[in-house]
Amino acid sequence: MALSSSWYDKLGAVLATKEAMQQMKRISEIRKVGIIAAMHKKDIETALRKVFSSLEAWGVEVLLQSECAKVLGKMKHCVSDAEIAASDMIFSLGGDGCMLSAVRMAVGHGTPVLGVRVGGLGFLSEVDWQDIDEAVEAIRNNNYLIDQRKLLQATVERCGNTVWLSYGLNDVVVLRGALSQVHMFEVRVDGELLISEFADGIIIATPTGSTAYSLSAGGPIVAPDADVLVLTPVCAHALYVRSIVMPPSSRFSIRAIATKGTEIEAAVMVDGQLTFGLSEGDVVSVSFSDQKANLVRLSKFRFIERLKQKLRWGCRDENATER
């Protein structure tokens, strides 16, 4: 049965109204903005003052971590990390490390995170701190997008019990100790043995994390909208043990096994920040989580442009001699 043009007009009106309501809802919800900052960064105090001033001029309630509040002399704005996590938006001032911390802080709340670069590479950042006024104005006028990224979930199983749980945006790494003897790493995917070899460690990376530690260890660069997981061995003894791209439903089980006559000295590390020491027989389980990171974008994320800008991808040295 053909539908009349008036039906389409009504549908368009309904959708337009729904979209307008969603926009209104998003704007009205941004009443509290939390700030976390990498206080060791050069220019961080200047950047912090500028961001605070810009948000205050907007009229939103600004929530600060204790160290930020002390630096600004705004102790009445000092709140717990839990309150910042439950705010309407989080501004992360610093580099990628601060951004990764903010994303983990927001787990369970779905709070959008804006990365404000203050020095460093800032691959995940969206705006430089000097341009924060324009960014705040765009957000205030609802001119922003949410770039949703999948998070990893890592657990440590010991004697049948879960003794550790964490989430990560970039990667989960199981590594031998810095001064320990070589370890054997056993990796199973969905219960099936994939790797049993000597190595320094095993990396499980998201597409977002493919440009981090995994890349340094010889793994591939993966576009962020590719729904895959990347397994990259670290300094595997066997030349045939290489990085492999796996489907998103994959569940990895990793065990570090000490050589005969030695004790295990290994740890699991999430996003290069959170670590947990492993004991003999511990199993590290890694998979995609139901939790997601919501990254604030002021324009559509252009992955190729970001590669060229941040990693000099495909860019000849401007001083190179023309051939």
Position 78, amino acid: C
Exposed/middle/buried for residue 10 (C-beta within 10 Å: 0-12, 13-18, 19+): exposed
Annotate 39-102 with DSSP letters as a single string.
TTSTTHHHHHHHHHHHHHHHTPEEEE-HHHHHHHT-GGGB--HHHHHTSSEEEEEESHHHHHHH
Whole-number Å distance between alpha carbons of 168 and 206: 9
Q: Give the tokens for residue 43.
A: 């220019």
Instruction: Decide if 43 is catalytic.
Output: no
Q: Give the tokens for residue 250.
A: 């994959």
Considering the candidates 43, 81, 88, 96, report the single residue annotated as catalytic. 96
Strand bridging mode 113-117 / 89-94: parallel
Q: Per-residue b/e over 75-109, b at no fewer than 16 CB within 10 Å?
A: eebbbeeeebbbbbbbbbbbbbbbbbbbbbbbbeb
Catalytic positions: 96
